[in-house]
Structure 1
Amino acid sequence: MGLDCDVARTRAGHIRLIRHTLAILEFILADVSQGVATTRRDPADGEKGWTVLEVVCHLRDFDRIFQSRVRQMLRENEPTLQAYDHERMAIEFRYNEQDLRTALAELHASRREFIALFESLNEAQWQRSAIHPERGRFTMDDALMQVGLHDALHLEQITRTLRGS
């Protein structure tokens, strides 16, 4: 029983984390204009670095992708998940031409759905898994942790970009 409680507590903590990372993102971007969001590039990557807007659009689209993977894991037995080329998506979907506030609102809407999905899972559903083309076996717990880690990496990228160092 103790282990089950620990697992449930850990999952609940990760769900709180993915809720709060968006609040942090809103705070960071509160005073960022569309102009700044489309012109400041990640200094770690020079001229090829993503803008703040491109990162926000990436977060939005990958939130949807992560959610679709979880839904696929619920529908199918051990499915092989599709890999995505995030660089190609940024160009193809013209991330840097989109509206920052709209992208943020869409990310929030997606995240609310995703959190509700995670909160609705029963223990048998938490045990579902898939094959990730780059990482191998991928569990529901992996999916939940991936969202928080992905958010944190990009929050750091956005703050570095806005700071310019």
Structure 2
Amino acid sequence: MSDIEHLKYPIGKFQKPEVITSSHLNRWIATMEEFPQLVAQQLDGVSTSDYDKTYRPGGWSVLQLVHHCADSHMNAFIRFKLSLTEESPVIRPYLEDRWALLPDVVSIDAEVSLQLLKALHKRWATLLQSLQSDDLAREYIHPEHGKRFSLAEATGMYDWHCRHHLEHMKIALKS
């Protein structure tokens, strides 16, 4: 893996287990519960200029990463709720690179999205903990990938997403 590839995917790309077990799900849900606090720990004591640091050339700043996680996880939470209340909904993708440049991202304090993440992840983890195996088997269709994702797989993907961007923040703040 090249240095740039390592910086882009510091924990590697998401690898779906062949069989998703309750152990996987418990670990993934724990990540969802812990994520806002782990982000808060990373941001504790950072200076205003630290929020402008990036994890790689052309990568997002720490500020953009925090806001991106809030944006992405809001979308994911809605996808979960749609999947639980509709039959295999086709979800709506969004242009995350463009969202990362909007005024609410580049000019709002990270604390706003951190508070959003705390509330959102509390609700999301509560929802995830209540799901039974038939709920976790429910799916949504992602038109960009032309693929169905079960809620069990999506839980793993967002566990990875949390850890992936947390590592980006750590790398950026060390630079």
TM-score band w.r.t. shorter chain: 0.7 to 0.9
State the TM-score, normalizing by the size of structure 1: 0.85
Q: Which residue of 2 aligns with 1:28?
A: 42
For 1:92 and 1:20, the matched residues in 2 are separated by 27
Corresponding position: 1:134 with 2:144? yes
Percent identity over paired residues: 25
Q: Which residue of 2 aligns with 1:12?
A: 26
Query: Secondary structure in 2 aligned to 1:104?
Result: helix
Deviation string 1:50-81 (CA, Å, 9 cap, x unpaired) is: 11111000001111110000011112111111
Q: Which has the higher contact order (CA 8 A, sep 6+)?
A: 2
Q: Which moved more, 1:88-97 or 1:65-74?
A: 88-97
Q: How far apart are 1:93 and its partner, in Å?
A: 4.4
Q: How far apart are 1:10 and its partner, in Å?
A: 2.5
CA contact (8 A) 2:31 2:162 kept: no
Q: Which residue of 2 aligns with 1:158?
A: 169
Query: Secondary structure in 1 aligned to 2:148?
Result: strand
Corresponding position: 1:85 with 2:95? yes
Runs of 4+ in 1 over 6 A off after TM superposition: none
Q: Which residue of 2 aligns with 1:60?
A: 70
Q: Which residue of 2 aligns with 1:107?
A: 117
State the TM-score, normalizing by the size of structure 2: 0.81
Structure 1: 5+ residue stretches without partners: 1-5
Change (3 A) 1:112 1:93: farther
Q: Which residue of 2 aligns with 1:94?
A: 104
Question: How many residues are paired up?
Answer: 155
